[in-house]
Each structure stands twice: as structure tokens, then as C-alpha cells.
Structure 1
Amino acid sequence: MLAVTTEAVNRTEHVQVQQVQEETDEEEEDVEEPVAEVEVDNSVEVEGDQAEDVQENRMEVETSTSNVTDDPPRQSVKRRRVEGGVDSAWLSREEDERAMVELLLNWIAVPGSYSRWWLLKSDEEKQPLCDEIKLFLRSHGRHGIESVDIRQQLTTFVTTFQAAHTWLRQARVEYPLNVENMTLEQEGIKSHVLQMCPHYERLVGVLAPYVKYDDSTARTDTPATATVQAATPSNNDTPLQSRDTSVAVNTPTKEAESSRRQSTESNTDDNIDDETKAQKRHLFELECARLQSEIETRNVQLVLEKTLARKKLLDAGISLEEVDRIFPM
């Protein structure tokens, strides 16, 4: 009985000691938690200060690098703007030149226009006609074109057309004008001619009578060569016989070639004479058309001058009857 009581007392004391120990541990944990929080807060504050310092350093570095690298992008932007301006200026210049070429092609297609230009030899003689062409260009919105540009472009028309025309005559081929179903040969001829003269089809009706062509440059001597096939020599006399045979055959061949060449040259001369006469006749017709055009132009100028004079008299207060008597319509 005494042993049981002692064991119960010991167990009770042990339980009380455990409770006291647990309370003590809880108090220690309560005391340690604020300290831990303070330490955490300090670490957070330290990390925040470090982050702010790092951010400030980064901003300073970015500011310095931006100051260093500001100028090159500006230069590149300026360079791009300059290059863009050059490209746009070049394109506008090309468009102006293309428009001028188109208008000059329209002007040269007017009957009598090129005959007037062709009859004037020096630049001084052509200057009044250049002024007239400049007025024509201005009426179509093309300003700032000088006389030298007009002379240069018209000269380019003539030289390129003459080169293409000469090539056609030397090659003895015809340009496939207004041909729907062209052969491969005709397509090749057309492509080659248009490479030499891009405006050949528009110029051929105007410049064909004026181009200079020397037909002797197109003459190509292509003599036919006669070959004698001899048998394989069997003795020493065979080479002599074959040589005599070749001489006998070549002699009439050369005579035939010379006679054929003479007949070809005579036919060519006749063709040249016929073409020369046709060109002279066409030039005469063009000259008549030019004179007729000048007469019509002069009549229009007289009507304009008379109209202006009548207007001045009417503005001055002169009666209509008197104006009709002085300048009748």
C-alpha cells in the first residue's frame, strides 16, 4: 500500500515537472520569436538597401551608356534620311526624264516637226525651235527643261534609230512590225532591235527617210568554194592529175563568182537609186507639209494679234463700228 502511494506521488511530481518544463519552453519560444522577427526585418532592410544601391548603380550605368550611344543612332537616322532623300530625288528625276521622252516622242510624231528640226543644222538655228518645244513641254506640266536637254534627247533618238536601222540592213532582215504570230527568228530580231533602240516602232515612220546608210558596208563577199574529191593516189602521177583537175574546176568557178558579184552589185546599185529617189520624194513631201504648217501657224498668229489689237481699242473707248472698220474680222 505504501509502495503504491509513493509511485503515485512520484508520477504526479513527474507530470508537474513536465508541465513546468513545457511552460518554460513555450515562454522561451515566445521570447525568441520577436528576436527572430527583428533579425528577419534587419536582413530584409539590408537586402532592400543593397537592392536600392544596385538599382542606383544600374541606372547610372544605363545613363552613361545612353549618353555614349545617343549620337550614333542619330547619325544613322540622319544617314537613312539622307539616303531616302537621295532615292526619292533619283526616282523623281527618272520620272521627269521618262515623261520628257514620252512628250518628245509625241512631238516628233507630228507631221513636219522633225523635218523642221532636220533642216536646221547649228544649235543657234535650232534655238527658236527649242523654245517652241519648251513651250510644248510646259503646256503638259514639264518645267525646267533646257534646250541642251532637248537637243541631246533628239540626237539620242536619231543615233539609236540609225544604229538599229543599219543593223537590219546589214543583216538583210525585216523588223516584224504589227506581226501577231511571230516566229522565234522574228522574236529574236525584235528583241535585238529594241535593245538598240527602245522606241524603234514609234520612230520608224518618222526617221526612216532621214537615216544615212552606206550599203557597201552590208556587202559581204561569200564566194562559193568548189572542192574536188579525188580518189586515193595509187601512183606518182595521181597528185599531178588531181592538181590539174582542181585548177580546171576553180577557173570557171572564179569567173562565175565575179559575174555573180557584178550582177549583185548592179542590182544593189539599182535598189539604192530607187531608195534614194523615194527618200527625196518623201523629203519633198515633208518640206511641203512643213511650209503648210508654217503658213497655218502664221495665220493663227495674225488672228491672235488682230484680236489683241481690237481688245486694246475697245478698252480705250473706241466704238465697235470703228474697231470693225479698222480691224475687220
Structure 2
Amino acid sequence: GAASYWTATASSARFVQSATARSARYIHSAAAASSGGDAVDGNGDVRLGFIGAGSMAEAMACGFVRGGVTTFARISASNSSGNVSRAAHWRALGAEVYPSNAEVLRHSDMVFLAVKPHILPGVLAEVGGGAEDRHLFVSVATGVSTTFIEDAITAAGGIGAPRVIRVMPNTPCLVGAAASAACVGSASTAADLELVSALMASAGTCITVEERLFDAVVGVSGSGPAYVFQLIEAMADGGVAAGLPRADAQKLAAQTVYGAAKMVLETGDHPGLLKDKVCSPGGTTIRAVHALEKGGFRAAVMDAVLASAGRSAELGKGK
């Protein structure tokens, strides 16, 4: 009932605050216990480096800062492409920008490989020789296995057993609402996974899965925001067609999606059950649900997830 829902909401808020504080403490503790060097500042805090400074890298960096577990003063990014406006943007955020990927590696402890899958082999060949025991590599590259990254670093002259964690975040990292997944490589430890998971959880939520399931993760949450954006746009278009001003229709559509998702997460109820509770006999909502079923709504969404997962598998062939 309503009372239990509000109790769950309050409990969830307290949990999020507590989890953020625990993540910050854990990350600080793990850094203090690291091997030191250029990667850790005087306060014992992890230095995060992004090889690749595009939209996903920015979303992750902003999410971590927003989550309270680091600051931009402890973040660096590479600008190997010489993109002046992109470099200026990162500097405006407060991050250090280096002209080469190798410099980011030297000044970082946790190194995010945030480049496109087809670019990653060249990046690993470039920086792999500088890999040290202190480095923890976190790959965001769709479809590229931890084994491929480990072998590429070793082949480039780096350490024989590089620690690699693979993650799949999504762009809502930017607003602290990411849905992320992580898995371990052959040389990474449980502590490495816990550290990365805590960092990712500071920008939303993070689950641990077997690497063989990563293509499915890409289909559901990696590409998922695009499906939801289209849903919001379609709902807003419908509102406009029914007479609402565009701004009002978009605000109502976005808030409705946010609220529905929040109910699923906080009540723990099956989405179908929550849908049934809204559909009164002969009412407006069941008529709308009927229209969605006639249009193949659920099948279209499932096909989208499978198409994205399939493309992820294609990108990973040979990697």
C-alpha cells in the first residue's frame, strides 16, 4: 500500500546516501593501500585517467564527481587527436588534459579505456609498454574481451598479467543515474572488482555479471537510453497531437517514465503487476495498452535489445 511505498522510498534514500559514503571511504582506503607513485596524490586518493575524452568518458567523470567519490582535480584525460574545443571543455571542468595517451597512463592509477572498439587495438599497442603493476585498466569498449586487452598489453611490452576490469555504463552516468555492469579479467582481483563497482555505483547502480553476458547487457542498458528517449519523444508527440504545448507534453512524458521506473525499483513489484494496477476495467489505460499490443510494442522493444546485443557480438569477433 501507500504506507509501505513511502517507507521503501525513505529507506532507499538513506541507502543511497549510505552507499555513496561507503564508496567514497572504500575508494580512499584502496588508494591509500596502493603502490603509490604518480598515480596517488598526497591525500592517498586514486588518480583516474581517461584514454578517450568523448561523451561516455565525460558522462562517467561527471557522474563520479557528482557522486562525491572524487574531484576533477584527480581526473585526467588524453587529447591525442588535438581537438582544441574538447580539451578546453575538460579543462573548464577542472580536469588535467594531456596531449598523449601515454602521459595519462603515467599520471593515473585507474585507467579507463574509453575509445571505440576499432581504435582500442592501436591504443593498447601505443600505451601497453608503459603498463605497470600499479595500473588497473577499466575498459568501456563494446565487444572487446578482457583477454584481448590483457594479451595486447603484454604483447606491447607491458606487464605479463595486467589487471583488467570490463564495464558497460550508460550515458545517464552524467546525472548520477547510470545502469552499469562489471566483470573481472583473469588477473584482476576481487578487491579490484569491488573498487571499480563502488566507483560505478557512485554514479548510479552497478551489477556484476559473467563476461559472456556482456552483449546482453549492451542490449538492455548500454543502448537502452536511446529506446527510452524515443519512448519519451513519442509520448510527447502524442500529447502535442492531443492538444498539449510541446514543453508541457515533454515534461509530463519524461516525469512519467522517471516515476514508473522509480516505482519498479523501489517497490520490487513486477512491471506487469504495476501495469495491471493502473488498468481499470473499460478504462483509458487498458485501451491504450491494447493499442500498444496491436502495434507490436513489446516485440519491437525485444527486437531492439536483441539487435543491439547482436551488433555487440559482431564488434567483438576476434577481440
TM-score by length of 1: 0.21
- Give the structure with the larger helix fraction: 1
More strand by share: 2
TM-score by structure 2 length?
0.22
